[in-house]
Amino acid sequence: MAPFIGQDIDIPAPDMYTNGQIMAWMVDEYETIKGKKEPGVITGKPLALGGSKGRDWATARGAFFVMEAMIAKHGFGKRIAIQGFGNAGVHLARLCVTHGYHLKAVSDSSGALVGQDGEDLDLTMVEQLKHEFKSFAAVAKQTRSLKLISNSELFGLDVDILVPAALEKQITAANASTIKAQMIVEVANGPTTHDADLLLEKQGVLVVPDIIANAGGVIVSYLEWVQNRQGLAMTAEEVDTRLKQTITASLEGLEGPSMRVAALRKAISRIAEAICLRHASG
């Protein structure tokens, strides 16, 4: 892969089943092959190898900023269910609880946890039990205050915000009609199929597409690259401010029944403008 990447070509960033250590191995191997230092070739690195402060929770922070903006604009409630308890899901759950959201459900591959009587989840307890017993299916057997439901049932919960933060194609034409949430925030890549998208639009559900909702990680990867190229280190506050400014600006002008279509139209128009300017004959 080394011939096809570089700090001025394509720059890999973390995704599922990777972490800072794996990204460190990647940059080390690349630099060994090339025989030179080039930290900007890989992002998501540990701080000691030129990583950026805030990168670990950047995807969640970006999604949270988008949620806050949409709530302010549309007046949605703050009852939330999160599918997926990986890096993005965990950090988003923590942010939401800290800021007064009502966490009604979280899930992993074994199922989803909800309160026995519909009460808000105690996230601290859930995290402790998850760490100890590894799966939510095992956690549910250890306490009477929690109940295990399927990931399919999670989608039908009576919440205001539904966050798919796991795998692609989770919301389909088969389950879209069960969704009661006012807003879906796509933290995962491609969690909603095209047919489901059309159904949700008819149901009046606002879908914040993945190209906006999970852009926080890519934005901070860009900031890491900038820091590597310039030989500087931003503070966590600087990174957070730039992330919020960038992702909030991406929401401007996205009018229409489909936020996905509006976002794609905006992105494609920018690319088209750049292409036209490069090839303008004057």
Domain assignment present for 206:
yes
**Which pTM does this prediction carry?**
0.94
CB 204 within 8 A of CB 106: no
In this predicted model, what pLDDT tens digit does every residue of 221-232 receive, in sequence order? 999 999 999 999
Other CB atoms within a 10 A radius of the CB of residue 53 amount to: 19
**Separation CA 176–CA 57 (nearest Å):** 29
Show the tokens assigned to 17.
Answer: 């089943």
Q: What is the mean pLDDT of residues 204-216?
A: 97
pLDDT, position 85: 97
Helices (H) and strands (E) in the chain, counts: 11, 7
pLDDT in tens, 35-72: 999 999 999 999 999 999 999 999 999 999 999 999 99
Determine the structural domain holding residue 208 and report its residue range: 57-212
User: Domain for residue 165, yes or no?
Assistant: yes
* Count of structural domains within the chain: 1
Q: What CATH number should be reported for the domain holding residue 93?
A: 3.40.50.720
Mean pLDDT value of segment 230-241 = 97
Residue 16 counted as domain residue? no
Which pair of structure tokens corresponds to residue 142? Answer: 């250890």
Domain-located, residue 230: no
Whether 252 is in a domain gets the answer: no
Cα distance between the two ends of the chain: 40
Q: Compute the distance between CA of residue 200 and CA of residue 174 in angstroms, rounded to an integer.
A: 12
- b/e code 233-246 from CB counts within 10 Å (16+ = b): ebeeebbbebbbeb
196 belongs to a structural domain: yes
The answer to whether the beta carbons of residues 83 and 154 sit under 8 Å apart is yes
